[in-house]
């Protein structure tokens, strides 16, 4: 693998993430890389962080999609109601 400039690396990451359908990695890679540099993460720790972000976002989207697909009549919350 050849050394890339940060700009070229960001472009390569963006392109690969589009092909691999990893939108959160694409969106968060630079931010997490900057944090990793500040905190002196290892390469493996950086990779673990960026993949965890992708997994967390997919889980959140999956939960939201399932609520929509369930076609619940209305959202109800647990709380105090006036008039009771």
Q: Write the pLDDT tens digit of every residue in 15-30.
A: 999 999 999 999 999 9
Where b means 16+ CB within 10 Å and e means fewer, 39-66 reads eebeeeebeebbeebbeebeeeeeeeee
What is the pLDDT at residue 75?
Answer: 72
Residue 12 falls within a domain, yes or no?
yes
> What is the mean predicted confidence (pLDDT) over 42-65?
95
> What is the mean predicted confidence (pLDDT) over 40-65?
95
Number of domains comprising the chain = 1
What is the pLDDT at residue 23?
Answer: 95
Residue 77 falls within a domain, yes or no?
no
Residue 79 falls within a domain, yes or no?
no
Residue 84 falls within a domain, yes or no?
no
What is the pLDDT at residue 26?
Answer: 94
Residue 81 falls within a domain, yes or no?
no
pTM, full prediction: 0.73
- Is residue 34 pLDDT above 70, yes or no? yes
| Interatomic CA distance for residues 70 and 68, integer angstroms | 5
Identify the domain containing residue 41 by its residue range: 6-69
């Amino acid at each position: 693998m050849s050394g890339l400039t940060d700009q070229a690396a960001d472009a390569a990451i963006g392109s690969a993430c589009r092909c691999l359908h990893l939108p959160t990695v694409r969106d968060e890679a630079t931010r997490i890389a900057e944090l990793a540099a500040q905190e002196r993460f290892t390469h493996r720790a950086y990779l673990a962080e960026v993949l965890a972000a992708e997994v967390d976002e997919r889980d959140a989207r999956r939960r939201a999609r399932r609520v929509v697909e369930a076609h619940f009549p209305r959202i109800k919350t647990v709380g105090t109601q006036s008039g009771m």
